[in-house]
Amino acid sequence: MGIYIILLLCVIGPVLNVPLPPNLQIMFPNLKTLDNKDRNTQDTILGELANNPDSKIPTIEGDILIHPSGRSAINCASCLWPKSANGTVIVPYTLSSSYSTQQVSLFNSSMQEFYTLTCIRFVPRKKEKDFLKIVSTGGTVQCAFLFFISTNKCCSSFIGKVGGGQVVNLAAGSCMSKGTIQHELEHNLGFFHEHSRSDRDDYITIMTEYISPGDRGNFNKFQTNNLGLEYDYGSVMHYPRYAFCNTSGQDTIVPKPNPSVPIGQRDGVSPLDVSKINRLYKCGGKSDVCATLLNTINGTLTSANYPSAYPQNSSCVWLIRTRSGKTASHFNAFDVQSSPGCVSDYIKIYDGPSKTSPLLLDRSCGSGVVPLLMSSASQMLIEFVSDGSLSATGFKATYTSVQCGAIYYASADNFTTPNFPYNYPPNMNCIWKIIAPAGYKIILTINDFVLEPALENSCIYDILSIYNGLDTSTGPSQILCGIISSRTLISVGNSMALQFISDQIGQYKGFQASYVFVPLS
């Protein structure tokens, strides 16, 4: 194979043009080829595509391995991992000893999202005959970077269960992101790329004029079972817009009707990815699984039927996963059947993606106020359980992603912008919320304050917004910027919120503030 190069954002990678073998008929009955001929995320996927051009095992669509045995046709059911008596789907795996402790932790967190949101259970292999053999060396597979020639560096896998110890290639140096790991795991569960769907021409245009003839097999369209779900531009299984382009600055995949729609993320599985897995494997039996992934920077969630009564005998989870920073949640309404010790209906909130994560809030019920909560990282899990007796109207909550900040209940404390007294970073969004007991007010003192100056007496760059109450979606009572020697502010009620936002250009010292609770006079 020759040496290939990257031209700006264009990936050029040869793919062997081979017929689609019967053993790839996984989630798509009667599968056949049809006749169709945010920059960090893009870089991740382009690097992923760049890893596989010289594989010694044939591939289609860049990272899908073709079984070398040329197995005869097998029906769809035998290509799926079997469901156990308790309704879970066990997928045994082994992990190469060459991965570091940090990389093993990344694998665990990537697999955990499947556990939380679906019936799929990736478990360490004991003696099972069929299992995933996750390796960094690639086994008999050798690959090459487009940046430099190397061996045993690739991200690739088979489609569905092919039997025995099937290799999943995830190079320790280049495939170590949650989205890339989940992408290859989804292949092993039976999923092709999203842009290969039979209805893809209604949603995207493939710009073949910017794809070299040898690479066009990566954009084949198949007769697929789309499981009754809409096309997912945000799927972790979707190619990026610049994949395999041969002309600098040109897209090979253009969404329609809106060409600016983001495609090809590798942050992790999308909400529709989760729905596809649950439908393909019938995870909820005759009903849908009550598991929701929330992957936007802010949003709203409610119990089923809200504000009407929620269903009895239900068990639901909401996994909030933002790209970075922390997650803050606020319950706008809460009415859950009360019981001693909340043994009947209750919510729990976890500081992380699973029910084994530390608790932010233990069993809570009744109609009291749920405290404001903030996760230590970018994920928060909310669990709601109801029994077969009485029900109530349930709850409504909002969440938002913050890069820094905290929630304070102590009678006095202090806080600063990141790095204070040195310059704060660019593109920050920090929220501090202060909550005093009823009958108290908050006295906030800004002791040192240096932000980017105002423009013509208007604070439009780096700003500190101060709110009476906790809702930062309403207008602030004050907006501060520039240099302030000292200032004291008193809350109207028993709560106060502060939001600090910095832009990309011009960083300064920041601020230091303190507060104290005092009784209402």
Is there a catalytic annotation at residue 184? yes
Distance of alpha carbon 185 from alpha carbon 109, whole angstroms: 13
DSSP summary character for residue 125: -
Q: 379-385 and 394-402 as β-strands: parallel, antiparallel, unpaired?
A: unpaired
Neighbours of 463 (CB within 10 A): 20
Inter-residue contact 448 to 511 (CB < 8 Å): yes
Strands, E assignment, 322-386: 326-335, 346-350, 359-364, 373-374, 379-385
Q: Which two tokens stand for residue 323?
A: 């790209």
Contact 453, 462 (CB under 8 A): no
Nearest-angstrom CA–CA distance, 363 and 310: 17
CA distance 124 to 153: 23
Tell me if 238 is assigned to a ligand binding site: no
d(CA 371, CA 376): 16
187 is in an annotated binding site: yes
User: Of the residues 48, 61, 113, 184, which is catalytic?
Assistant: 184
195 is in an annotated binding site: no
Alpha helices by DSSP H, 139-229: 178-189
SS3 of 415-436: the string is EECCCCCCCCCCCCEEEEEEEC
What gap in Å lies between CA 343 and CA 282, rounded to an integer?
A: 29
Under DSSP, the state recorded for 508 is -
Instruction: Say how many residues make up the chain.
Output: 521
- Secondary structure element (H or E) that encloses residue 113, with its range: helix 101-117
E-assigned strands of 425-481?
429-435, 440-450, 463-468, 478-480
Q: Which residues are annotated as a binding site?
A: 183, 187, 193
Q: Which residues are annotated as a binding site for Zn(2+)?
A: 183, 187, 193
Give catalytic residue positions.
184
